[in-house]
Amino acid sequence: MLGGYTGKILDVNLDSGELKDVSLDEEMAKMYLGGKGLGLKIVYDSFRADMQPFDPDNLLVFATGPATGQKIPTSGRYHIVCSKSPQTGTVGSGNSGGKWGPFLKFAGYDVVIVRGISKEPVYLSIVDGKAELVPAPELWGMTVHAVTDELTERSGNPKKTSVACIGPAGENLVPFSGIMNDKYRTAGRTGLGAVMGSKKLKAVVVSGSRKIEPANRELLEDRAIESMKRIRENPVTGPKGGLHTYGTAVLVNIINESGAYPTRNFQEAYFPDADEQSGETLVKKYLTGRGGCWGCPIVCGRKSDVPDGPFSVRDTEGPEYETLFAFGSDCGITELDALIKANHLCDELGLDTISMGGTIACAMELVEKGKIPPEKLHGMNLRFGDPSSMIEAIWRTAYKAGIGADLALGSRDLAKKYGAPEFSMAVKGMELPAYDPRPIQGIGLNYATANRGGDHVYGYMISPEVLGLPLKLDPYAVEDKPKWTIILQDLTSAINSSVVCLFTSFALGLPEYAGMLAAVTGFDLDADKLLKLGERVTNLERLMNNMYGLDRNEDILPKRLTEEPVPDGPAKGQISHVPEMINEYYALRGWIDGKPTEGKLKELGIA
Amino acid sequence: MIMLVKFLESVQGITEQLEISVKVGKGDTVYTVLLALAYHYGHDFYAVTIGDKSETPKVRIMLNGKDIGHLKGFETNVKGGDILVLSSQEPLINLHD
């Protein structure tokens, strides 16, 4: 048995109802570790170029990694992959924290593969190595919190049980619905919730008490202690650092003052009222506590409470920085209580907050510019700065009610439908996150080239370009950005295959990750080999996208960002220079026109 | 000529205010502004912003959206209408506990 793995994969066929155990292939684990890498490899081995998002053969793969559930800082995470995303047309991919990942391993499995479509709604129960499909028509329609409470209670062992599920948005096949676990944690991007909804799979419940032995326990403990020390001493990740004190919302003021806080659908990049929705203000007005994922010393999660007023919501969690931008500045909305409410609603309905906010912002601009006629809105006052209409737009989207059916298309198809595709601030159909790329060149290159579409955590260039970690790069400069973007993208692929939290990368580097993973697995791993593994994962994902027909034509930013300078604020006059950087990026990658060459694939052991 | 200085995150714990307007004139630099503010806010402020000038400041210092490390550092000239931002994710003094 390999260290750090259960050695078992659960293969669930919803067409036939058959469940079978499959042994984990050791060579595959060495090549792809787990999490994202292993999930992609499983999808690749059943790849079909004509796959459709709601095809029964579209695999949904829940994958832990060798670090998951070990005594390694932030090892509470797992990754979900699907063969084809309904949002982007690429391979689908999302990552989540909480406790579901470790609990799957404690229940006896490294990976769950879901294929086929059930005739009726079901949930999958995995308890102490015993898996079963349970008919669940009574659960269909429930919100995330309701179904989580119901299934946790049914388990009879609430402290050792975790539920991953979809909400109404996933059931209604909204292409940017997520898979939620532990109520507030989300594998949010690329519409994995809709794929799960198409399979009539409402939830996956995991519970167990199995311990997974690492290859070298003593060595692992030494290396984990050293990594823990680095995390605790780091000003961002330490116990009194920015992430713990203010949450990810600590970025609101920093990014705004950098002139990169996208405002009113990226028409501007500075929001004068940003401080009213900042991490500092959240702490002062609504914070009731802090919480973290399983095994996490950083504890960046927020517990918040809005006791009264029109946007009252009690004892909720969040919001994160990305959510504050998406429903806040991007929609021209200042009120923090409304943003907390919007976040809560998305968690209940199972929606990706970035894409939901980005789509509403796009709709607001379409209304502002007269592209969506008033009669389409049935009385909704969908305009920048109106928090009530933003809230209403969320639930309408989840249920595809009225204009919600159009919003549920996502910004790309919504803007196309109303004759103004240029208003969609998305890459490959996925809405952009909370950093305007015009004054931060590397993050723009990362957005353009990220395999799953507009994605900040594919290669988090904000770390060197704004936070100065691990070194300071001038955000306006283009020099060296292709090289650094590639390094961070491949590092992230390795982290997501481990699986640990990306936030550890503020404090840890490749040697620390490789050291811990080598101790867990017994594999021959060092910093270079781990980065090469990350490169393999990035290239495999790219190869599948190429086989779906994507190439350099999809590696582009919205024209607004490359042609319209930032109109005001600290970054006035800046534009993104992605077109000037992309060829160097491809050359360094060993790609031609966005496609890995045969030589590159051979070098990585893919071909 | 007036410029604005904003304090984010832990720096607010030293200044106990969110921002301050500062009168600047010809020849003023980031250094002269920080020095003037250090006289106003005290030694803690001096220690985390200027301290030993040869070392990296404990706070992030941005002028008009750019880290001064990408400009001329402390010697960067300032003028009326500029915005200087000081932020730190590190606890500078005991905060929020």
Closest A-chain CA to B58:
A235
What confidence score (pLDDT) does residue B54 get? 67
* pLDDT band at B92; cut points 50, 70, 90: low
In chain A, the percentage of residues whose pLDDT exceeds 90 is: 97
Total domains in chain B come to 1
Q: Dump pLDDT digits (tens) for A569-594.
A: 999 999 999 999 999 999 999 999 99
What confidence score (pLDDT) does residue A542 get? 98
What confidence score (pLDDT) does residue A327 get? 98
Domain A8-207 and domain A247-430, same fold? Reply is no
CATH number of the domain bearing residue B17: 3.10.20.30
On whether any CB of chain B is under 8 Å from the CB of A442, the answer is no
Gap between the Cα atoms of A43 and B67, Å rounded: 43
On whether any CB of chain B is under 8 Å from the CB of A254, the answer is yes
Q: How many CB atoms lie within 10 A of CB A603?
A: 16
- For the residues A64-69, what does the mean pLDDT come to? 98
Gap between the Cα atoms of A435 and A262, Å rounded: 6
- The answer to whether the beta carbons of residues A123 and A22 sit under 8 Å apart is no
All structural domains of chain A with their residue ranges? 8-207, 247-430, 434-603
Contacts of A77 (CB under 8 A, 6+ apart): A35, A68, A95, A96, A97, A101, A293, A499, A500, A501
What confidence score (pLDDT) does residue A506 get? 92
What confidence score (pLDDT) does residue A444 get? 98
Mutate to test the interface with A, among B3, B4, B8, B71 (most CBs of A within 10 A): B8
In chain A, the percentage of residues whose pLDDT exceeds 70 is: 100
Question: Does the beta-carbon distance from A235 to B88 stay under 8 Å?
Answer: yes
On whether any CB of chain B is under 8 Å from the CB of A284, the answer is no
Residue B97 has pLDDT above 50, yes or no: no
Gap between the Cα atoms of A318 and A290, Å rounded: 9
Q: How many CB atoms lie within 10 A of CB B48?
A: 20
Q: Which element (helix H / strand E) includes A10?
A: strand A8-13
Gap between the Cα atoms of A330 and A264, Å rounded: 4
Closest A-chain CA to B89:
A242
- The answer to whether the beta carbons of residues A520 and A67 sit under 8 Å apart is yes
Please compute Rg for chain A using Cα positions: 22
- For the residues A393-400, what does the mean pLDDT come to? 98
On whether any CB of chain B is under 8 Å from the CB of A387, the answer is no
Nearest to A258 among B18, B62, B90 (CB): B62
Gap between the Cα atoms of A222 and A439, Å rounded: 42
Gap between the Cα atoms of A85 and A82, Å rounded: 7
- The answer to whether the beta carbons of residues A430 and A87 sit under 8 Å apart is yes
- For the residues A600-606, what does the mean pLDDT come to? 97
Q: What is this model's ipTM?
A: 0.76
In chain B, the percentage of residues whose pLDDT exceeds 70 is: 87
Does residue B58 lie in a domain region? yes
Does residue B93 lie in a domain region? no
- For the residues A428-436, what does the mean pLDDT come to? 98
- For the residues A497-504, what does the mean pLDDT come to? 96
Please state whether the peptide bond connecting residue A319 to the residue before it is cis, i.e. omega within 30 degrees of 0.
yes
CATH architecture of the domain formed by A8-207: 4-Layer Sandwich (3.60)
Contacts of A512 (CB under 8 A, 6+ apart): A223, A226, A227, A230
Residue A69 has pLDDT above 90, yes or no: yes
**Containing domain of residue B63, as a range?**
2-87
What confidence score (pLDDT) does residue A148 get? 98
Domain spanning A434-603: CATH 3.40.50.300: no
- Report the amino acid identity of residue A188: G
Closest A-chain CA to B68:
A474
Nearest to A245 among B60, B65, B96 (CB): B96
| pTM exceeds cut of 0.90 | yes
- For the residues A127-133, what does the mean pLDDT come to? 97
Average pLDDT of every residue of chain A: 97
Gap between the Cα atoms of A282 and A315, Å rounded: 14
- The answer to whether the beta carbons of residues B29 and B12 sit under 8 Å apart is no
Q: For the purposes of burial, counting CB atoms within 10 Å of the CB of A530, is it exposed (0-12), middle (13-18) or buried (19 or more)?
A: buried
Question: Does the beta-carbon distance from B95 to A245 stay under 8 Å?
Answer: yes
What confidence score (pLDDT) does residue B63 get? 95
CATH topology assigned to domain A247-430: 1.10.569
- Residue pairs between chains A and B whose CB atoms are closer than 8 Å: 74
Gap between the Cα atoms of B66 and B59, Å rounded: 14
Does residue B97 lie in a domain region? no
Residue B90 has pLDDT above 80, yes or no: no
> Per mean pLDDT, which range of A205-209, A210-214, A567-571, B69-73 is the poorest?
B69-73
